[in-house]
Structure 1
Amino acid sequence: MNNYFATVSRGLEEVAADELRRIGAGDVRPEFTGVHFRGDQKLLYKANLWTRTTFRILKPIARVKSFNGDELYRSIQKIDWSEYLDPDMTLAVTCTGKNKLLNHTHFTALQIKNAITDWQKVRGGKRSSVDTDKPDLQINAHIDEKHCIISLDSSGSSLHRRGYRPAIGAAPMKETLAAALLDMAEWTPDLAFLDPMCGSGTLPIEATLKALNVAPGLYRDFGFQTWLDYDRNLWQSLLKEAEAQQKHDLEIPIIGSDRDLQVIKQAFVNAESSGLEDYVQFARRELEDVEAPADHGVLICNPPYGVRLGTEAELGELYKLLGDIFKQRFKGWTAYVLTGSMKLSKQVGLRTSKRIKLYNGAIPCTLLKYEMY
């Protein structure tokens, strides 16, 4: 059994922890912007393939002293890098965190890279080259006061990049946040789903992927596939298992609409790219014309709140219109509004049954729940 660490967006730690437990992770312990867990190599692969709310799955290999650059260099050279890296492999080092004497992440990453390649040179003369775009081994270093946690990044590119979104609108929601909102809203595939302000379609597409049980990592590559201990047979068996578990029918409508024709066109492109064009519905529709597509269901929307789009002064009427539509046309539904402005949220004019604090990137937000009886 190995120790692993999943990085997540602030406020989504518990959601990600529950997701990891569902795929069989042990000793799951959420902390600020991350989740510690334990498992074998199979679980590492499954975490990359199946988790919808995590950014990266890291495999810590050492916790070394790093009071300053020289001490960090010496500490890194005490690791047997032949276990993880051949000279013919490329590498890249990323760094987070800082202390008083290691306060520049680029310098820290360079110091670690130099220590590793110098270690290789002493033992054989040939050193790995750096490839910051697609390295064979991506190393993550995190400075924690006087120590540095060295981890191997098993994910490669961030897991929110599912590979289906070539078209992106203004201020797009990350796929990981969309998946987390579906969990927080307790949406299940037997309930109709609607996003009346869907932009380029992230929420409806994530709902469709979940409803059809499509593994979010099914159509992309991962960092662990170039590791020395990569088990290709194990990975292929997990892919076949995931494909066999997919569903091919939806019993409920999943709909996204938006007033902007251009972003609806983007949503169509994204649905086609994900192979979901026959399952998810997109339409250009003014908000005031939105109707409930079923007797009951879940509505989630992420209206502008004056940070990246619009201003608070001009958005008040939009929030009031949302409240009126919820009240008049969505009886039997549960509606959720993600907003970064509590001032604007008051314009909805309805009593919330729940408020959940979370972050959209660096923006503090609240997910507001409205039960429409």
Structure 2
Amino acid sequence: MSEERFFATTAKGVEEVLAAELTRLGASEVAVDSGGVRFGGGMEAAYRANLWLRSASRVLMPLGEFPCETPEQLYRGVSGLPWVKYLTPAMTLAVDCSLRDSALTHSGFVALKAKDAIVDVLRDHFGSRPNVDTKDPDLRVNLRLFRNRCTVSLDCSGTPLDRRGYRLDRHEAPLKENLAAALVELSGWDGTTPLIDPMCGTGTIVIEAAMKALRIPPGLSRQGFGFQRWRGFDKALWERVVAEARNGILTDLPAPVQGTDISHSAVGMAAQNAKRAGVLEQITLGRQQLSELAPPPGPGVVILNPPYGKRLGEEEALRPLYKEIGDVLKQRCKGYTAFLFTGNLELAKSVGLKAARRIVLYNGPIECRLLKYEMY
């Protein structure tokens, strides 16, 4: 089998975490790039990546790259790719486009022009063309146009990889699953000491931590992946990869993982999410004031993702909460390493602790910091 190359996308700032994940999975030629990581290893590596990657958004398979300043160049470049290998008239198709700093400025037009090129190639070869299905296509094509260079890829993942399948309730401003997993990874937590989230909301951080410690692949409960509908999908290989993963799942957590929150409804949703993720019996969830936090003896890890007041007036109202976080960490978390994830550096000053490390991350478009505090 030829060695296909792939590109796993992720949030800005998470690239190194993702590269380490791919290296642990045994992928070859792992190379960090802006917004993602390149890797090789053939379709087996792509199957494993989709099943196992905790911090990725998508896994793409680049088909080609070409200079692109005009609609004609775009049409010609897309037409020259081997679509007959991947598509038949019986399959459905969708084209997504993201662009920046290029002569072609309308992503909808670029996607439409590329789609025309693809269906013309198919019509010339088969005598008929595939239909477009933007919601649930058999083959999703991804176009990235950056500084007048166009990269055309097939989307191996289908729906984004952060959609694990356990979170149905989208509570107010939740953290995406893959970013929560990245926070756990960046904390250095290895599962052998307690992990506490005293502002757990709907439980994403503690669920991701428990799944990691129990070796539950994040893709195990998903409805499916894009590559499963491709021509040449190797069902036997995929079933072997999944069976291997199932056999490696642990039944018990080596150390406590607990999440608490002041909100009854949030804790209720966290329990439902944890149940769907298969970790409810292993973790501890409960309603609790932040000031009542009583973690097990350290060492351990505390991760907090407090609200960070996007609207006018909210910032002032949240200042006492950030001060309380600092007080609770000082008084109740001796021996722990604490990590605060926030998009508001002004509020973070109210914690009143000196950060040992500051990691720049992005939560969607918001520039954030993951602040590390050593609690002696």
**Normalised TM-score (structure 2):** 0.96
Is structure 2 residue 301 aligned with structure 1 residue 307?
Answer: no
Query: Which residue type is aligned with residue 234 of structure 1?
Result: L
Q: Which residue of 2 aligns with 1:321?
A: 324
**TM-fit CA distance, 1:122:** 2.0
Task: Give yes or no for the alignment of 1:354 onto 2:348.
Answer: no
Which runs of at least 4 in structure 1 moved beyond 6 Å after TM superposition? none
Distance 2:187 2:44 in 1: 30
Distance 1:183 1:308, change over 3 A: farther
- Say whether 1:142 aligns with 2:144: yes
Does the 8 Å CA contact 1:167/1:269 hold for their aligned counterparts?
no
CA distance in 2, matches of 1:91, 1:19: 31
Contact 2:159–2:225 at 8 Å: present in 1 too?
A: yes
- Deviation, 1:304, is 1.1
Describe how 1:1-373 pairs up with structure 2 within 5 A. 1-98=3-100, 100-220=102-222, 221-307=224-310, 311-373=314-376
Partners of 2:75 and 2:117 within 8 A in 1: yes
Task: Give the TM-score normalised by structure 1.
Answer: 0.97
* CA–CA distance in structure 2, aligned partners of residues 50 and 160 of structure 1: 11
List per-residue Cα deviations over 1:167-196 (Å, max 9, x = no partner). 221100011111111111000111101101
CA contact (8 A) 2:103 2:148 kept: no
Amino acid paired to 2:55: T
Aligned residues of 2:342 and 2:370 also touching (Cα < 8 A)? yes
Note the alpha carbon deviations across 1:42-79, whole angstroms, 9 max, x for none. Answer: 11100111110000111011113422112211222222
Q: Which amino acid aligns with 2:160?
A: S
Cα separation, 1, equivalents of 2:43 and 2:356: 42
Amino acid at match of 1:246: I
| 8 Å contact from structure 2 (residues 221, 277) kept in 1 | no
Deviations along 1:145-186, one digit per CA (max 9) or x if unpaired, are: 333111010000100011111122110001111111111100
Q: SS at the partner of 1:279?
A: coil
Distance across 1 between alignment mates of 2:282 and 2:289:
22
**Partner AA of 1:207 in structure 2:** A
* Cα separation, 2, equivalents of 1:310 and 1:166: 31
Alpha carbons of 1:310 and 1:208: their partners in 2 closer, same or farther (altered >3 Å)? farther
- The CA RMSD over aligned residues, in Å, is 1.4
The one-letter code matched in structure 1 to 2:246 is E
Which has the larger displacement, 86-95 or 99-108? 99-108
- Name the CA distance, whole Å, in 1 between partners of 2:142 and 2:336: 44
8 Å contact from structure 2 (residues 102, 145) kept in 1: no
Q: CA deviation at 1:100?
A: 4.4
* TM-fit CA distance, 1:308: 6.6
Percent sequence identity over aligned pairs? 45
Could you tell which deviates more after superposition, 121-130 or 328-337? 121-130
One-letter code of the match for 2:267? I
Q: What letter corresponds to residue 274 of structure 2 in structure 1?
A: A
Distance 1:308 1:232 in 2: 50
Taking a change above 3 Å as real, the CA distance of residues 309 and 204 of structure 1, as seen in their structure-2 partners, is farther
* Contact 1:323–1:349 (Cα < 8 Å) also in 2: yes
- 1:247 partner amino acid: L
Q: 1:296 offset after TM fit, Å?
A: 2.4
Bigger drift between 181-190 and 61-70 goes to 61-70
Contact 1:261 1:284 in 2 (8 A): yes
3-state SS of 1:54 partner: coil
Separation in 1, partners of 2:291, 2:375 = 18
SS at match of 2:303: strand
Structure 1 position 343, deviation (Å): 1.5
**Secondary structure of 2:133's partner?**
coil
Task: Figure out how many residues of one structure are paired with residues of the other and give that number.
Answer: 373
How many angstroms apart in 2 are the aligned matches of 1:8 and 1:191?
27
Deviations 1:292-343 (A, max 9, x none): 1333210000111112797110111111111111111110111111111221
Question: Structure 2 regions of 5+ residues with no counterpart?
Answer: none
Amino acid at match of 2:241: L
Aligned to 1:9, the other structure's residue is in SS state coil
Gaps of 5+ in 1: none
